[in-house]
Structure 1
Amino acid sequence: MMDYQDVIDRIDILVVEEPKTVIIACLLLTAVFAAGLGNIGTESGTSQFTEGSPAMQAYEDVQREFEDPFAAGTGSTQLIQRNQNVLSKSSLLRMLVVQKRISERPGLRVSATSSVADTIATTLNPQADTTAEKIDALQAATPQEIDAAVEEAARQKGIAQSLSEDFNRESATASGSIGVVTHRIPGEGGSAIGASGTSPLTAIQQNVQHVVNSVNSDITVFGSGMISAEFANVIVDSLIIVVPAAALLILFFLIFSYRDPFDLFLGVVSLVMTVIWTFGFMGLLGIPFSQMLVAVPPLLLAVGIDFGIHAVNRYREERADGAGTDEAMLVTTDQLLPAFFIVTGTTVLGFAANLTSSLPPIRSFGLVAAIGITFTMVIFGVFLPAGKVLLDRWRERHNVPAFGRRPLGSEESMLGRALRLGVFIAKRAPRAFLILAILSAAVAGAYGTGVDTSFSQEDFLPPADVPDYLESLPEPFKPSDYSATATIDYLDEHFATTGGGQVIVYVEGQMTRDYALEQIQRANRDPPSTFAAEDRVARSSSIIDVIDSYAKANAEFAALVARNDVDDDGIPDDNLKTIYNRLFDSPYSDRADNYLTPSYRSTRVVYTIESGASQAEVTTDAQAIANDYRYDATATGQSIIFQQITDSILESALQSLALALIAAAVFLLAIFRLFEGYATVGLVNLVPIVLSLAFIAGTMRFLAIPLNAMTATILSITIGMGVDYSSHFVHRFVDEYTGDNLYEAMGSTVAGTGGALTGSMLTTVSGIGVLALAITPILGQFGVITALSIFYSYITSVIVTPSAFVVWDSLVNPME
């Protein structure tokens, strides 16, 4: 009909006349791509999402200005002690013994240790400098002396901040305390926001855990290194559980769909080739494997299974009508290659829409998925048909019997009769049913606009309580021991000061002007509710604190500050350059470097945030504080960076949705005009996709599944997978439709393509649905919502599309 038919005819002939050439070429490409598998690295955790956000850029500016990139960095490990009373003599001694043993290990690179036990010991004996001397001080003290030291330390030295909220000063009791070990990390100047699957602290903190285990069991080791280790382990553990389960379910449904061991073998080989091509190509491009890309294999399997079942089922339809091997395959490829191209084009557009995201992992997901779907079309559109031709010729030569020749969904089968429900409705009340479907989708979509958006470290970590059925799995499927989430929950629940974190305000401007320091003081007054405060002044640290500290230690400097304090409020106003010069020439220069650049053109102020404050609240309040500065000031910190990622997730989801819908609509209108001469059929194709989008949005809110780093892609996936089902259905109908056989064409479409769609849906839903077994909640949520998305796409394609065709036919042929 058009020039495209010449291309399809050439592929038809190549598949039927040169099947060996096709197979050898595909196997050679498989070998090439397999070589790239060894180049695949891994990337996990939250740090991969922070790249490029404005708050992260400000944070990196702060690190560059105030941290020495060549100096050894520091890292900290928390020692969380929990028992009936961590202030008892035996508990305090255990903490000090742990600190001593950790400090004695050179490989742990300990620069300092601190704990409540330290403070109480020095309260008992101010001359106790070493940990051993502190242990002696505690051992020599009576319980009454220790209780008195606790009360004095709480009053004068503020130990309550390191004790759980149930601390009772009078009885000298508390159920939890936090000690801190500081490590030197060579070549790791500065710190990062978020955690990743690799951390220089991981090995150190794991070795600290070994030391702690040798002493007692009431101290938990916690820190970014332990979190990083869990980020890395959870991907492997999830794959070990999910992949075998998915393989078993997929194999079961493939046996049901193919019902022939030779066809099953050919289908499985094609699926394996699809994965090898995609991930081998990913390795050649140097794209690391991340949590988001865990979803790619199930998606490739979903489309591959769909293509394979359609190809074999369509071929069987022709064989059932008496056609020979070559003739049946010529008809099959001639009809399915355009359908595969339509599906691939719209699916690729759906996934490629994620390339507009500001988040690198989502862009990588969109790119890899788009490439993988393209490879899937080549393998199942050319390799599998060629393999099927060779296989059936061999069977005919050797009189090997064929199994399962009857296509899925034939009219006389139970499935075939069930699939005719959509046609039955289309004959009785198509317009009323279509209006009902649209109204239901509108309600679901409106409800779905309230779906939450989230991004946090906990999204990527295992839950506090791993389900019992996972714990009972035998090796090697049994997951590792995970404690990070439970520890985070414990700290948030029992400690007032650990959960809030910090906000940094990066101020750029000439800090020698008279009002430069006064602006910091003004901004700190009457802070928002999420900022920790004392006497209505924000709890913060800045260059002002360094000036105060040096003034207390040096009378001459104190006099200089006082002479230049015009309004007598403790903050110097005049001759700030002279004051800074003296400060940087003093022993306090290292501390000053932490807050003021040597050029005196930028400074940072670090604020403490109240525990329990939400990221959104912290971000709003931090920006309000930054706006109070006269100079250009930018608020940054983990809460703000994560909130910007949360906002980007929503923006990415909506942007990719709009782009994918527009691109899919244009593509479908153009391609159906080119292939079939009916541009408006492309609009019919969109009906089940739009309905599925609305239903999936409503379902996400109903199930309390937020738009997060993984599920943000679900809208474009729904378009991609929904097009897969609806395009097969629509393309088959148009092929059968002659202008005056509406219901006959629908019947043939439902019986043939509907049966293949059913087999594909069952296989894909089960294969992707097993992601619900993944240890990480974010993967489980993605598996559930993607499986439901595919199910909705199937239902709307089979049940709603026939009614849409009746309405379309009445518009195309109004006189009939």
Structure 2
Amino acid sequence: MVDYQRYIDRVDEWITERPRTVIIAFVLLTVVFGAGLANISTDAGTSQFTEDSPAQTALDQIDQEFSASFEESNGSTQLIQSGSNVLAKDELLAMLEAQQRLTEHEELRVVGSSSAASVVAQTIDPTATTPSAQIDAIEGATTGEIEDAIQTAAEGPGFTGLVSNDFNRESASASATIGTVQHDVLGGVSSSAAGTGGESPLTPIQTRSQEVVGSVDSDIRVFGSGLVADEFTNIIFDSLIIVVPAAALLILIFLVFAYRDPIDLLLGVLSLVMAVIWTFGFTGLAGLPFSQMLIAVPPLLLAVGIDFGIHAINRYREERVQGIDIKPSMRTATDQLLVAFFIVTGTTVVGFAANGISDLQPIRQFGLVAAIGIVFTFLIFGIFLPAAKVWADQLRAKYGIPEFGLSPLGSEGSVLGRVLLVGVGAAKRAPYALLVVTLLISVASGFYATGVDTSFSQDDFLPPEEIPDYVEGLPEPFAPGEYTVTDTTNFLEERFSTTQGSSVTVYAEGPLREDYSLEAIQRANEDPPDAIVSSNREADAESIIGVIDTYAEQSPEFAQLVDRNDVDDDGVPDDNLETIYDELLDSPYRAQALQYITEDYRSTQVVYSTESSATQDEIASDARSLADRYRFSATATGQTIVLQAVSGTILTSAIQSLIAAFVVTAIFLILIYYVIEGRPSLGLVNLAPIVVSVALLAGSMRLFGIPFNALTATILSIAIGLGIDYSAHFVHRFADEYHEYDEEVLPALEETVRGTGGALTGSMLTTTTGIGVLALAITPILGQFGLVLALTIFFAYIASILVTPSVIVVWGRYA
């Protein structure tokens, strides 16, 4: 054993002899951290998870090099038009009018635009390169000429990607189309950020674009990364506005029951508020952005803070009801609780910090902020709250202010006290039988949990298309805003084959001037994997080869050039490729060509259609297999592949964090009980109920259909951190009582349950209810996290009260 008491005695002296000094110091620190709140920025959406992914890097390159042929452009806005027939003359003119009006507003920094209407206009008049000239071309054409132009344009590889799946070439009709407007954004922006959130310089541009396009007489909606980023940010704050007051109200109700004294209640709530201010003030001072992940941190701080607060007041009251004075009562309470709080803090920090080994930056950041927040919570509830309680009770005694609710929770003779002894009763009669049953249930739950799904998508972070009535009907200022992103993305999924995972792209970099380059692409497309759409054993692909074929059909001179340089006569040129590219880029098909090849002839993209029945994993695997066939440096990418990569990383992170948290926690507990008690085996006793609660939690996730996603992936390591909270209080209190009762196990157990069980019950009821209100959050991912977090605390409590007594009885027989 190590003599740690002298350190605790120093803290005791500050708490009991200089409480006002302690209070002033903590208030000043709160002011310092409070200043950091003004520095908090937001980072929302999925981009924060995908930024280190090779597939996302390739997708960003594609967006920069192929999205449009406007060299100055580095940001884009989509114009999504819908109607009975968006290819009718008046609708084509409406789209071109929208493009024209956006171009006229200098603040929108438009450097170019394109759409199906532009392609049709240029098919009619190849010299019409501006929206104004294209409007003239459409206005001067007859209906028949427009239909002929649409049919001709549809033969090109790019046109069908701009119109909806119901496009009918014969009748020249479609119910929706997409236009693109390019902006020269100061400071730059990745256009692949559309749908990923985060702060975007495109937000004011696209907000203003909505107003401009709204003046056009057609159903055209504006969509882009700036609007998505703005909506993600609004969702964060709207969720906080709903969740925080609801949680505060429920927590307050249960804290009234737990404290039963207005001054104690005020001190407890003040301490909770300080813990949140310190934590998020730190994130502001450290320059860490606030993301959806960090919305889960306040509930975690509340879970631990409420537990610490109730234990501190409850233990102090146990001494005060015996007639002991203020200072000795607090010294006894802090002597015991500072050690228990240190154990809980250490293991909780380990559980949260275990997320630091994740390959995903937001999960690492979440683990860091949560771990630091728990350290702050330990300091506030371990030092500030006891000092404030001493000072408040001294003032009460001085001015004759009465005290309320002095009896501790779960005291002997109370109904709760009798109920809490159920676990001790089972430990007396049949400890081995209870542990065998517990083991069987845990193993079965763990085995069942192997079927838990893994999920990662933009939908996890967005509100449902239909907001629940109980949220929609909230009064101001709690009423949620108007959200359109989910509706728009669902519309794109439904109407367009090239969005949301129905195609994948291979991004290749290499010497495309070499004679073998196009032949290499052609050979890679032969006998494609099952998830890739094919005909006649060749992949259904859109590439520079398709643009060459299309132009060759329109231009006899270009066709002759291709034929002269097709040595093996297979329809794909394999000689003088630079000359062919030069001719193509000097033709009316320049814009289409630059969708698939860069002007320096160093990069290309090939777009493959995927089978609708293929799973995300199958698509990703087959796309990577296809990329491996290329002779160049090739990367398979696309939203499906990016999301699948993150999904796999999430599962890996969950398992690695669980193992790391378990191993480090076990080592910590064994060492700490060796240091403070000389009994390292008590560390294993402390750990046993946590194994049970983690197994039950994992099984419950599958039972309730909750997948491992960006947020719930952290829950297994968090379950260890928070679960230890309950068992550590129980085991440490038992160790103290074990000495008091001359190493008699059962009397020590009964006293432990009466003394600590009440505080554990109050903590469990408060935190599960307060955290459970996360289900009210607008984003599904937060609702799921709130449920699993509440289950984590409930299972940890049940395991501590019911299982730990039997574990201790068995330990007592062999220790």
Aligned to 2:671: 670
In the alignment, which residue of structure 2 is the partner of 1:748?
751
Q: Distance in 2 between matches of 1:152 and 1:588?
A: 14
Identify which range, 470-479 or 340-349, moves more after superposition: 470-479
CA deviations on 1:752-811 (whole Å, 9 max, x unpaired) are 111001111111112211111110111111111111111111111111111111111122
Q: Is the 8 A contact 1:45 1:195 kept in 2?
A: yes
Q: Once the two structures are superposed, what CA deviation does each residue of 1:636-680 show, in whole Å capped at 9, x if it has no partner?
A: 333222211111111111001000000000111111111112211
Deviations 1:210-253 (A, max 9, x none): 23444457443333332222111100111111111111111111
Deviations 1:381-424 (A, max 9, x none): 11111111111111111111101100011122121111111112
Q: How does 1:484-563 map to 2 (within 5 A)?
A: 484-500=485-501, 503-508=504-509, 511=512, 514-533=515-534, 536-542=537-543, 544=545, 562-563=563-564
- Match of residue 45 from structure 2: 45
Output the amino acid matched with 2:688.
V
Aligned 8 A contact 1:110 1:182 in 2: yes
Tell me how far 1:157 sits from its aligned partner: 2.9
Shift of residue 109, structure 1, vs aligned partner: 3.8
Q: Distance in 1 between matches of 2:225 and 2:198?
A: 10
| Pairing 1:4–2:15 present | no
Partner of 1:186: 185
Provide the residue aligned with 2:723 in structure 1: 722
| Whole-angstrom CA distance in 2 between matches of 1:486 and 1:596 | 33
| Residue 769 (structure 1) aligned with residue 769 (structure 2) | no
Which residue pairs with 1:735 in the alignment? 736
Q: 1:493 to 1:611 in 2, by over 3 A?
A: farther
Q: What is the CA-CA distance between 1:630 and the residue it aligns to?
A: 3.2
Amino acid at match of 2:807: A
Note the alpha carbon deviations across 1:30-51, whole angstroms, 9 max, x for none.
2222222222211111111123
Deviation at 1:63, TM superposition (A): 7.2
Aligned partners of 1:538, 1:377: CA distance in 2, in Å? 61
What is the rounded CA distance, in whole Å, between the counterparts of 1:538 and 1:771 in structure 2? 46
CA contact (8 A) 1:278 1:375 kept: yes
Per the alignment, residue 238 of structure 1 pairs with 239
Residue in structure 1 matching 2:154, options 122, 132, 157: 157
Q: CA RMSD in A?
A: 3.5
CA distance in 1, matches of 2:166, 2:354: 52
Distance 2:132 2:57 in 1: 45
> What CA distance in whole angstroms lies between the structure 1 residues aligned with 2:324 and 2:302?
30
Instruction: Give distance in 1, aligned partners of 2:537 and 2:229.
Output: 38
- Equivalent residues in 2 for 1:357-376, closer than 5 Å: 357-376=358-377
Query: What is the alpha-carbon distance in structure 2 between the residues aligned to residue 411 and residue 147 of structure 1?
Result: 93
1-structure distance, mates of 2:116, 2:627: 35
Distance 1:436 1:227 in 2: 51
Give the letter aligned to residue 521 of structure 1: Q
What is the CA-CA distance between 1:295 and the residue it aligns to?
0.7
Alpha carbons 2:109, 2:185 under 8 Å: kept? no
The alpha-carbon deviation at position 594 of structure 1 amounts to 7.1
Name the counterpart of 2:697: 696
Q: Distance in 2 between matches of 1:440 and 1:548?
A: 65
- Range that drifts further, 479-488 or 61-70: 61-70
* AA of the residue aligned to 1:651: T
Pairwise CA distance, 1:86:
5.0
- The equivalent residue for 1:24 is 24
Alpha-carbon distance change, 5 to 78 in structure 1, aligned in 2, over 3 angstroms: same
What is the deviation of 1:125? Answer: 9.5
**CA separation of 1:163 and 1:69: change in aligned 2, threshold 3 A:** closer
Matches within 5 A, 1:406-555: 406-500=407-501, 503-508=504-509, 511=512, 514-533=515-534, 536-542=537-543, 544=545
The answer to whether the 8 Å contact 1:596/1:603 transfers is yes
Residue among 777, 780, 783 paired with 1:780: 783
Is the counterpart of residue 803 in structure 1 residue 802 in structure 2?
no
Shift in Å at residue 623 of structure 1?
0.7
Q: Distance in 2 between matches of 1:568 and 1:439?
A: 70
Which letter maps to 1:380? Answer: F
Q: Distance in 1 between matches of 2:597 and 2:220?
A: 38
Aligned to 1:709: 710
Distance 1:598 1:731, change over 3 A: same
Q: Look up the equivalent residue of 1:323 and give its one-letter code.
A: I
- d(CA) in 2 for partners of 1:346, 1:69: 56
The Cα shift of 1:452 comes to 0.8
Amino acid at match of 2:289: P
The letter for the 2-side match of 1:491 is: L
Aligned to 2:56: 56
How many Å apart are 1:533 and its aligned residue?
4.9
CA shift in 2, pair 1:761/1:217, >3 Å: farther
Does the 8 Å contact 1:76/1:180 carry over to 2? no
Q: Which amino acid aligns with 1:242?
A: V
For 1:599 and 1:86, locate their aligned partners in 2 and report how far apart those are by CA, in whole Å.
36
Q: Secondary structure at the match of 1:449?
A: helix
Residue in structure 2 matched with residue 351 of structure 1 by the alignment: 352
- Length-normalised TM-score, structure 1: 0.90
Is 1:497–1:610's contact at 8 Å kept on the other side of the alignment? Answer: no
Instruction: Write the distance in 2 (CA, Å) between the matches of 1:112 and 1:783.
Output: 46
**Aligned partner of 1:408: which letter?**
L
TM-score by length of 2: 0.90
Q: 547-556 or 567-576: which moved more?
A: 547-556
Q: 1:77 to 1:508 in 2, by over 3 A?
A: closer
Question: Which residue in 2 is equivalent to 1:628?
Answer: 629
Q: 1:165 to 1:593 in 2, by over 3 A?
A: closer
How far apart in 1 are the matches of 2:245 and 2:189?
42
Per-residue deviation, 1:582: 8.3
Deviation at 1:635, TM superposition (A): 1.9
Name the counterpart of 1:34.
34
Residue identity opposite 1:605 in structure 2? Q
Report the Cα offset of residue 511 of structure 1.
4.9
Which digits, 9 at most, give the CA deviation of each residue in 1:168-219, with x for residues without a partner?
6777765x31231312233437533562222233223322322344445744
- Following superposition of structure 1 onto structure 2, how do residues 119-138 of structure 1 map, counting pairs within 5 Å? none
Q: For the structure 1 residues 569 and 251, does the alpha-carbon distance in structure 2 shift closer, same or farther, using more than 3 Å as the test?
A: same
Matches within 5 A, 1:166-245: 166=166, 176-187=175-186, 188=188, 191-193=191-193, 195-215=196-216, 218-245=219-246
**One-letter amino acid of the counterpart of residue 6, structure 1:** R
**Shift of the alpha carbon at 1:515?**
3.1
Q: Are the aligned partners of 1:68 and 1:189 in contact in 2 as well (CA < 8 Å)?
A: no
Q: Which runs of 5+ in 2 are unaligned?
A: none
Number of residue equivalences: 807
Q: Deviations over 1:276-319 (max 9, x none)?
A: 21112222211111110111111111111110100000000011
Corresponding position: 1:73 with 2:85: no
For 1:291 and 1:518, how far apart are their aligned partners in 2?
47
Is the Cα contact below 8 Å between 1:209 and 1:221 reproduced in 2? Answer: yes
Q: Return closer, same or farther for 1:147/1:460 CA change in 2, 3 Å cut-off.
A: farther
Structure 1 distance, partners of 2:652, 2:292, is 20
Given residue 628 of structure 2, which amino acid in structure 1 is its aligned partner? N
C-alpha contact 2:83 2:176 (8 A) present in aligned 1: no
Distance 1:501 1:173, change over 3 A: closer
Instruction: Determine helix, strand or coil for the equivalent of 2:4.
Output: helix
Q: 1:192 is paired with a residue of what secondary structure?
A: helix
Retained in 1: the 8 A contact 2:500–2:639? Answer: no
Give, in whole Å, the separation in 1 of the partners of 2:528 and 2:793: 49
Amino acid at match of 1:49: F
8 A Cα contact 2:162 2:179, kept in partner = no
Deviation per CA, 1:606-648, whole angstroms, max 9, x where unpaired?
3143485543222111111112123443223332222111111
Moved more, 770-779 or 504-513: 504-513
